[in-house]
Amino acid sequence: MVETVIRVEGMSCGGCVRSVTAALKSLPGVTDADVSLESAQARVQYDPATVSEQQLREAVEDAGFDAPA
């Protein structure tokens, strides 16, 4: 299991935070996601054998937010 921090742009309320959290936690291989509105970041614990950091970013983008590399 590894941990990474992804920048998440476009969140402006608690609903956004819930949405990004749900998008990340729905991915196979993600065991935890802690999303912060204040820091515009998601701290994600995941199994790199199952899911890549790029796929984490894509899930955030698919949820309607920006996740620049």
Interaction site with its own copies (CB under 8 A)? 10-16, 18-23, 26, 62-65
* Nearest-5° Cα angle at 27, 24 to 32: 55
Distance separating the N- and C-terminal Cα atoms of the chain:
21
Min dist CB 2 to its own copies, Å, is 24
Q: Which is nearer to its own copies, 35 or 46 (CB)?
A: 35
Q: Which is nearer to its own copies, 21 or 41 (CB)?
A: 21
Q: Which is nearer to its own copies, 6 or 63 (CB)?
A: 63
For helices 14-25 and 53-62, the axis angle rounded to 10 degrees is 130
